[in-house]
Amino acid sequence: MTEQEQIKEAFEDLLKSLRKDTPKEGIQQIKKAFEFADEAHKGVRRRSGEPYIMHPLAVAKIATKEIGLGTTSVVAALLHDVVEDTDYTVEDIANLFGAKVASIVDGLTKISGVMGSDTSQQAESFRKMILTLADDVRVILIKIADRLHNMRTLASMPEHKQVKIASETLYIYAPLAHRMGLHAIKTELEDLSMKYEHPEEYQVIAKKIEAYKNQFSSLFEEFIKPIRGKLGDNGYEYTITARTKSVYSVWLKMQRRNISFDEIYDLLAVRIVFKPKEGIPEKQQCWNIYALITDLYSPKPERIRDWVSVPKANGYEALHLTVMGPEGQWFEVQIRSERMDEVAEKGLAAHWKYKGEGESSELDKWLANIKEVLDQPDATALEFLDEFKLNLFTKEIRVFTPKGYMRTLPKGATALDFAYDIHSEVGDTCIGAKVNHKLVPMSYKLSSGDQVEILTSDKQKPQREWLDFVVTAKARTHINAAFKKERKEMMRNGINTYEAVVKKLGMPPTSEPLNKALKHYGLINRDDLYVEIGKHNITPEDLEKALKKRSENKFIKYWNLQFLWNGKDSDEKKKGAASQVVDDSDFSIAPCCNPIPGDDVVGMKIAGTKVVVHKRSCPEAIRLMASFGDKIVPIKWVSHKLMSFLAIIKITGLDAPGMVCEITGLIAKEEKVTMRLIHFEARDGIFEGTIHLYVHNTSDLSRILSRISALKGVESVMRVESDEK
């Protein structure tokens, strides 16, 4: 097949994917957009080698088939890279395709100009992307379609780009797809990200899920046979499908709960999608089907999820229950109408298609809330991204005002979050609350169903400690805004004091004394140093002593890392030819994940001149890679001599006399390993222990873990990041 035939086939495939209600004029407009984009991108190829036009065609198909968007969005998707990659302007698009298409293309161009760049801060670009919500939410939906196609074709990118794009996708785009109600796309983005970030774990879990599916296919048929009978007898038209949890969701559950694959009991879910009977509310029909199923199988009461009475904020509606199957196996059953299923899979577009005139949803309220957060001009980009992220992927609670109006808040929200949700002024002047008519402090965590009355005082103003317990972006943004002015004043004073001390000591006005001060006080950011000086937490005398102190280079004797390349994006770098062995004056070990030689690591060079070394799986590293894609420094361990590194292991098992002696005795026999701290607790015949060890590398640690796990009575032994409960 020639390239031209390939392109023609892809375009015809797009036309077949269009919504059935697409008018003839719409199809003509789409053909015109395709011909225009094809001509504009002629001769250009993607990294995979295929003609560039195949990418806009794929994005347009995702937009219509998987998200359910209409003509305007398909036209905009076809044209989304034209302004960025060719000589055509937004004005040209407006003249040819109208103002609305031009506005969407302009929004997508502004995002791509920064999101695709290696040289700009990713967080700032994300802020700009969210600003486009104020204009047209279709910009975000097409951008998600664009990212999905890029993730599907990520194999053709070099490894360091794969890691950067996968981190960004997991941190920003998957939660955004979730919030827009695009469940299927969110799941695929998560799985694809994991495939590139943790390829080995991905393959292992994927194989186990496939084996599980094969093992339980006959059990599934046995389980649904009586359900089919009941639904048929009661006149329901329906489809029943089985789905397993996604690879990423299984992996995440294993990580969060420190459990094995075999301990995840809700791997299999049964989905019933029914055609509603006329004249009976869908909600009532969901509960009718629930009753039919519980006549057959015993439900687990605490696992009922009723999202038909109160839908999720992203529009999701369904009734979930977990029942005991015929052979002692738990099955999750999801009950949805055809409309609910379309909203669940296609999200926002389907949600608005079904929404009545003038009807306001939780999703509309969320969008309005985001626009209010954006009105704070002082928020830094990364701070905004973190706050926004907080409210993207969270579970929700429903609480009520004294007059009975319902508000949706993230799980863990406090009375103060509720106050800010009502109005920023109510939050700023909050002194406490009454929850269910009982007086509580503003830090009180709310539960679904609580009725909340906020108490205020004109004399109150935001306090810094409020940030320790609020969880919503709106509350944090308003509280932070109150301290921005004060911080700026402190920084101004701090800069003046710092410069005066440097001048007094006759030091050069370079980054060298600044880095020395940052290292001495354990700070990463120069602004934090200036604030500490401005607050007089660091006096001029202290600063003088710190700058005069001789620096010690104590780690260079023990171990080295290698930067896999150095300098800019050169041909040499692409070949992996340029590399450089570095000592500890070039990097520092991240305290958040405490990597040791042998761990899979990544470097981040964000502030100052040092590269901070993180474990690749560290949540903070994932956050930073997503926000500062251009600051990733690929590195690997090269050599290490007899220097010990701290590793923490956690052990659980059946308590028996002499168990602690047996474990510590086994470790004591290891020549290269020493113990720093031992803590064991036993309760009801079960013991839990934490041991801090000094090891040389991961092979030392692996050997100890396997030997301890072989001891009789030991249930699990694993390395943990910290020994916090």
Cα separation of 21 and 36, whole Å? 24
Under 8 Å between Cβ of 351 and 361: yes
- Looking up tokens 């509580």 gives 440
113 Cβ contact partners less than 8 Å away, ≥ 6 residues apart: 84, 125
More confident residue, 308 or 694: 308
Tokens coding 471:
């969880």
Under 8 Å between Cβ of 390 and 440: no
Residue 275 pLDDT more than 70? yes
pLDDT confidence tier of residue 189, bands split at 50, 70 and 90:
very high
Marked catalytic residue, from 21, 50, 85, 159: 85
Name the residue type at position 231.
L
pLDDT confidence tier of residue 529, bands split at 50, 70 and 90:
confident
DSSP string, 192-220: HHHHHHSHHHHHHHHHHHHHHHHHHHHHH
- Residue 262 a catalytic site member: no
More confident residue, 428 or 371: 428
CA dihedral of residues 611, 616, 619, 621 (deg, nearest 10): 20
Under 8 Å between Cβ of 92 and 106: no
pLDDT score at 295? 93
Residue 453 pLDDT more than 90? yes
Residue 703 pLDDT more than 50? yes
Give the Cβ contact number of residue 444 at 10 Å: 19
Full strand arrangement of the beta sheet holding 611-615: 587-589, 611-615, 601-604, 632-633
More confident residue, 494 or 626: 494
The mean pLDDT of the chain is 80
More confident residue, 463 or 639: 463
For the chain, first and last CA: distance in Å? 61
Angle at 196 between CA 194 and CA 199, to 5 degrees: 75
- 155 three-state secondary structure: helix
Residue 240 pLDDT more than 90? yes
pLDDT score at 406? 81
pLDDT score at 116? 44
Least Cα distance to 292 among 310, 276, 309, 272 occurs for 272
Cα separation of 180 and 316, whole Å? 10
pLDDT score at 722? 65
pLDDT confidence tier of residue 555, bands split at 50, 70 and 90:
very low
pLDDT confidence tier of residue 579, bands split at 50, 70 and 90:
very low
Phi and psi, residue 456, nearest 5°? -125, 165
Least Cα distance to 518 among 475, 560, 494, 547 occurs for 547
Least Cα distance to 71 among 26, 119, 107 occurs for 26
pLDDT in tens, 381-432: 555 555 555 555 557 788 888 888 888 888 889 999 999 989 888 999 999 9
Residue 448 pLDDT more than 80? yes
DSSP string, 295-347: HHS-B-GGG-EETTTS--TT----EEEEEE-TTS-EEEEEEEEHHHHHHHHHT
More confident residue, 561 or 18: 18
Phi and psi, residue 590, nearest 5°? -70, 125
Least Cα distance to 537 among 525, 524, 528 occurs for 528
Cα separation of 152 and 212, whole Å? 25
pLDDT score at 554? 37
pLDDT score at 416? 94
pLDDT confidence tier of residue 364, bands split at 50, 70 and 90:
low
Residue 293 pLDDT more than 90? yes
pLDDT in tens, 601-610: 888 887 666 7
**DSSP letter (8 states) at residue 263:** G
Residue 573 pLDDT more than 50? no
Q: In the chain, what percentage of residues exceed pLDDT 90?
A: 17
223 Cβ contact partners less than 8 Å away, ≥ 6 residues apart: 270, 325, 326, 329, 331
Cα separation of 164 and 621, whole Å? 11
pLDDT confidence tier of residue 315, bands split at 50, 70 and 90:
confident
669 Cβ contact partners less than 8 Å away, ≥ 6 residues apart: none
- Residue 191 a catalytic site member: no
Residue 585 pLDDT more than 60? no
More confident residue, 455 or 3: 455
Q: Is the pTM of this model over 0.75?
A: no
- Exposure pattern of 608-628 as b/e (b: 16+ CB <10 Å)? bebbbbbbbbbeebbbbbbbb
pLDDT score at 537? 83
More confident residue, 577 or 172: 172
pLDDT score at 283? 92
pLDDT in tens, 479-492: 887 777 677 888 88
pLDDT confidence tier of residue 273, bands split at 50, 70 and 90:
very high
DSSP string, 654-686: E--TTHHHHHHHHHHT-TT-EEEEEEEEEETTE
Question: What value does the mean pLDDT take over residues 229-253?
Answer: 90
Least Cα distance to 395 among 415, 418, 412, 417 occurs for 412
Q: Which helix (H) or strand (E) holds 241?
A: strand 237-244
Pairing mode of beta strands 330-337, 268-275: parallel
Pairing mode of beta strands 601-604, 268-275: unpaired
pLDDT score at 365? 64
Name the residue type at position 671.
E
Marked catalytic residue, from 50, 84, 453, 527: 84
Instruction: Give the chain's domains with CATH numbers.
Output: 3-197 (1.10.3210.10), 200-354 (3.30.460.10), 559-639 (no CATH), 645-720 (3.30.70.260)
